[in-house]
Amino acid sequence: MNSHLHHQSQSQGNRPLKPRKKRLARDQLNLLETSFNANQKLKAEHKTELARQLGVPPKQVAIWYQNRRARHKNDAIEHDYMNIQLELGNVLAENIRLEKQVSMLKFELNKVQQMILFGPTSSAATHPSVSGSSDEQANSSSPGNMICNWGDAGNDDIFPVEELYTCLIGSDTQLWPLN
């Protein structure tokens, strides 16, 4: 075992290894952190001054700065990753909400289409007739330009499709732009 310890203290060529550097004290770390926060790039004059103040070789100060910049970069990447994950969660939740809304709107559209085709009741005697309200609108196939005539039991009320839709969903929002 003694030869094992002797072997560890020497490198190839029987030269002694350099002694391990001591860890920096808390006040030394605070000084380095303060200096790093002020300027992440280390200039030669500043490196020499810091090394003198800390009582360590300038190379140790340079290595500490290099390691600190690497840690800072990793922290920034981790922070960005967390922000992206949060944004992804928000986007996925919005996507689910929009898919539900699309499904609801498809259902309501189907309900309106059924009402247009078969009238407000399912009886065969009440079928709507769909026509344009003018020659200009007759050339347009836009649902907003269609007028439905509900001929149920002699009642000849005429409803634009948008009004019918609004009545069905109970909303004040506009489905199609009015011309």
The SS3 assignment for 56 reads: coil
pLDDT in tens, 83-132: 999 999 999 999 999 999 999 999 999 999 888 888 765 444 444 444 44
Sign of CA dihedral 162, 168, 174, 176: negative
Residue 11 confidence (pLDDT): 52
pLDDT at residue number 104: 95
Q: Output the CA torsion sign for 117, 121, 124, 126.
A: negative
**Tell me, what DSSP letter sits at residue 41?**
S
pLDDT of 165 > 70? The answer is no
Whether the predicted pLDDT of 134 surpasses 90:
no
Q: Where are the beta strands (DSSP E) in the chain?
A: 129-132, 146-149, 158-160
How much is the pLDDT for 140?
A: 44
Name the pLDDT band for 169 (thresholds 50, 70, 90): low
Range 32-35 contact pairs with CB under 8 angstroms and sequence separation of 24 or more: 32/61, 32/64, 32/65, 32/68, 33/68
Query: What is the per-residue pLDDT across 39-67, written as a single tens digit (0 to 9) for each?
Result: 989 899 999 999 999 999 999 999 999 99
> Is pLDDT of 34 > 90?
yes
| The predicted structure's pLDDT at residue 117 | 87
Average pLDDT, whole number, for the chain? Answer: 74
Domains of the chain from N-terminus onward: 22-102 (1.10.10.60), 119-172 (no CATH)
Q: What is the pLDDT confidence band of residue 153, given thresholds at 50, 70 and 90?
A: very low
For β-strands 129-132 and 158-160, DSSP reports them as unpaired
Instruction: Count CB neighbours of 165 within 10 A.
Output: 23
User: Are 125 and 149 within 8 A, CB to CB?
Assistant: no
Residue 67's identity, in one-letter code, is N
